[in-house]
Amino acid sequence: LAKTTQPISMDSYEGQEVNITCSHNNIATNDYITWYQQFPSQGPRFIIQGYKTKVTNEVASLFIPADRKSSTLSLPRVSLSDTAVYYCLVGGSQGNLIFGKGTKLSVKP
Amino acid sequence: DADVTQTPRNRITKTGKRIMLECSQTKGHDRMYWYRQDPGLGLRLIYYSFDVKDINKGEISDGYSVSRQAQAKFSLSLESAIPNQTALYFCATSDTITGSSYNEQFFGPGTRLTVL
């Protein structure tokens, strides 16, 4: 399973756009890129998944360059309730996910 | 996710005791997983099961065992609990994966286990 690297923490203010970049140099051809969100004392929650180019849903956008060695999760106009840990995962085609330490996003008023 | 339930939600036990954590799901998913989370370390996979007859070790299976009693039930046991097994434990489920795509996992509310 490909290893991912993402920042340990990020700070932002309400109303700003937040971009969290994840590197995954060893991504395999069949691997998808998936992001989860976790609030304290809760289980992670699926946010978005993509294979290449751009994916957008009601919560976030995911940008994946052509070489797929990195990806960027974009959260538009964050609010205080977006304060959470965000995990970037690669692979999981067999269902066994590897979660790293994630990025702790703190949104301030 | 209310479709994935874990019992107990909190448990305090002593070193050497046998502990069972239970997970039930009403999502009809074939695949179930057990993770543990330690502060600042993210989640680590303990065991996973792709169907009732299939059990696989994850990243940190030593000291743990599992039982898949039915499609909807997946239990995690600590045969002889030790303090460094104090952690937050999550159960998760996912649907059967087709081709090379990946299906999202749905997590339970977690069980906070303390081993004294």
Q: Do residues B48 and B66 lie in contact, with contact meaning Cβ atoms separated by under 8 Å? A: no
Model confidence over B98-116: pLDDT tens digits?
654 566 889 999 999 999 9
pLDDT digits (tens, 9 = 90+) for B20-60: 999 999 999 999 999 999 987 788 999 999 899 999 999 89
* Contact between chains at B90 and A43 (C-beta distance less than 8 A): yes
Distance in Å, alpha carbon of B79 to nearest chain A alpha carbon: 24
The closest alpha carbon to A109, from A76, A66, A75, A79, belongs to A79
Are B45 and A49 inside 8 Å of each other by CB? no
Nearest to A100 among B42, B109, B110 (CB): B42
Q: What is the largest CA-CA distance in chain B?
A: 45
Q: How far is A42 from chain B (nearest CA, A)?
A: 6
